[in-house]
Amino acid sequence: MDQGLIPRRYAKALYGFASDKGVTERVYVLMKNLEASFAELPDLQKALANPFVNGDDKTQLLFTASQASKADSVFADFVKLLIHNRRVDDVRQIALAYLKIYREERNIHVVHVESAAPLAPDEEKRLRRLVERHIGDDAMEFTTGVDPSLIGGFTISVDNERLDASISNELRQLRQNLISK
């Protein structure tokens, strides 16, 4: 996902500031929490974009959504800057850009496995080993999910690569082959 020029610049500045203060990992955790809150609560973006919600309330929303504490001074300064520059609407895109910068700096791959039914522990372990062989010595953030529309099988996404070994994909390809003849 392309975050845009302005969010990338803010994220890069935040990363540099956090790096200077030695808290890049803590800010990473806060940004992951913030992104998860946006994904879970679509109204969060509406509240932050609302001009009738004052800056203190927006600050509190962001602290709650990111699970930040008063000790997270780098995050607090960042939020103050966003509110002062009227860029709080861009905070989700900035968080995504920060996550991307952090992962690139540390060679962390985002891996997501989607299956038609929950994976058994041994199947998950086997898929994890398969991905580890593919990415080499780099680190990974491994998550799983369930999507019944796959009918059977699974999909694996590693960063921008995708392997689709689902029954629904096989049926789609079979249908395409039949139509093209």
pLDDT digits (tens, 9 = 90+) for 95-147: 999 999 999 999 999 999 999 999 999 999 999 999 999 898 899 999 999 99
Q: Which residues pair with 153 in a beta bridge?
A: 166
Indicate whether 1 pLDDT > 70: no
Give the pTM: 0.85
Q: Which residues pair with 162 in a beta bridge?
A: 157
Q: Which residues pair with 25 in a beta bridge?
A: none
Residue 39: predicted pLDDT: 95
Indicate whether 84 pLDDT > 90: yes
How crowded is residue 40: how many other Cβ atoms within 10 Å of its Cβ?
A: 9
Mean pLDDT (whole number) for 81-96: 96
- How confident is residue 2, by pLDDT bands cut at 50, 70 and 90? low
State how far the Cα of 139 lies from the Cα of 128, in Å rounded to an integer.
12
Indicate whether 179 pLDDT > 70: yes
Strand order in the sheet with 153-158: 139-146, 108-115, 153-158, 161-166
Indicate whether 89 pLDDT > 60: yes
Residue 4: predicted pLDDT: 85
In contact, 77 and 108? CB cutoff 8 Å: no
Residue 160: predicted pLDDT: 87
Residue 137: predicted pLDDT: 87
| 3 state SS of 37 | helix
pLDDT digits (tens, 9 = 90+) for 38-76: 999 999 999 999 999 999 999 999 999 999 999 999 999
Transcribe 124-180 into DSSP letters.
HHHHHHHHHHHHTT-EEEEEEEE-GGG-SEEEEEETTEEEEEEHHHHHHHHHHHHHH
